[in-house]
Amino acid sequence: MTLREAALNVKARRDFLWGLGTGLFAVPLLTSCASRPVERPDVKPIRGSWISVWWDDRRHFYWNDVCQRFTREQWQAAVQDVADLGMEYLVLLAIAKGGRAFYDTPLLPKLELACPDPLEAMLAAADRHRVKFFVSSDWYGEWDAQALTDPDPVRKRFQMMEEIARRYSHHPSFHGWYWPTEACLSPYFADSFVAYVNASSGEARRLTPKAKTLTAPYGTHQAVDDDTFVRQLERLDVDIIAYQDEVGCLRMGPAESERAFATLRRAHDRVPQRALWADVETFAWEGPANQQSSPLIPAPWERVQAQLEAVSAHVDTILIYQYQGLMNRPGSPAFAGHPDSTRLYLDYVRWLRSGQGR
């Protein structure tokens, strides 16, 4: 991209945000320092999100069926929507689920989808909008701790990775891989998780030598920064660790999140080759918390803002779980999710345009 193209791209996104709501906002996103309201320049904006094709429980109830009917154009619009909001990363949650794949493969039957190849549609759009994708390596089968290291599931996972690399890694937007099996800090990683990540990263380097690698553990409320954990970070062969802030799952509030990420920052400063990111949970629960039968709904903006403020001083980049279904641009052709998702979107845009996110 030339400097002129980059400038035009920034102008287009600025004009897009300024046009939202036809006069709803009083201050443009990019203004002079003298005209801005009081800022919190230490608060980082959202730089990326997870995105899914389909999931096999009710947590994705408000967008699952809609996304299954998305056309190629709608998947591309979904990528454009996050790019227009200033995000630069998308993390694909899965390449298969419930025994069905989201692309053509001899390993599994294919999920019935209106778009023949949503991965291709999203990556092609990401190429145009300069969004960087982390592509999942799973799920060949159901989650099972034994699947991390047992030979047969490992072989199947690597076969799917090879297929994904062959079909999609030519895209400039194919930035890296996401290892989706969530590890729990308790307060250390299980040896099986370290082996899973290291084997997956080794295969990724063979297939796509320049690709970055990402994982997103939970158990963050138990974070420690002692020598044992630091030695684990040294052994863990991954470029980026985006720890879940666990506020949506009600394991922490923003104040506890701030303390946990401060602890992780001290640990990662001793192992700087492992980038420290946050996975901020932008959801609440329609029913009982932390139940697969309970749909996710948008959290109130006031809570999300507090979450961003809590982690910003300690992390390099903030991702969210997630934009899809929980934030929607009003009138978007890729609208999918809870009706209140437009409110969270507009509240975030107001905050961006107030100059509080740097």
Query: Which strand (E) or helix (H) includes residue 308?
Result: helix 301-311
- Return the pLDDT at 133: 98
- Rounded to 10 degrees, the C-alpha dihedral 123/248/306/18 comes to 40
Give the CA angle between residues 89, 95, 99 to the nearest 5°.
155
pTM for this structure? 0.88
| Arithmetic mean of pLDDT over the chain | 89
DSSP-derived 3-state class of residue 288: coil
Q: How confident is the model at residue 3 (pLDDT cuts 50, 70, 90)?
A: very low
pLDDT tens-digit profile of 312-345? 999 999 999 999 999 999 999 999 999 999 999 9
pLDDT tens-digit profile of 174-185? 999 999 988 899
Burial class (CB in 10 A: 0-12, 13-18, 19+), 32: exposed
pLDDT tens-digit profile of 129-138? 999 999 999 8
Query: β-pairing, 100-101 with 212-215?
Result: unpaired
**Is pLDDT larger for residue 218 or for residue 40?**
218
- Nearby residues of 299 by Cβ (< 8 Å), 6 or more positions away: 248, 281, 282, 283, 284, 326, 344
Checking if the pLDDT of 7 tops 70, the result is no
pLDDT tens-digit profile of 267-311? 999 999 999 999 999 999 999 999 999 999 999 999 999 999 999
Q: How far is CA 12 from CA 24, 57, 127, 173, 345, in A?
A: 19, 38, 17, 20, 19
Say if CB 160 and CB 107 are below 8 A apart: yes
Q: Which amino acid is at 336?
A: A
- Return the pLDDT at 10: 41
Structural domains of the chain in order of their starting residue, each with its CATH number: 53-353 (3.20.20.80)
- Return the pLDDT at 189: 96
- Please state the φ and ψ torsions of residue 61, each to the nearest 5 degrees: -55, -40
Q: Which amino acid is at 245?
A: D
Say if CB 77 and CB 33 are below 8 A apart: no
Ordered alpha helix ranges (H), 130-242: 151-168, 191-207, 227-235
Say if CB 299 and CB 283 are below 8 A apart: yes
- Alpha carbon distance 354, 317 (integer Å): 20
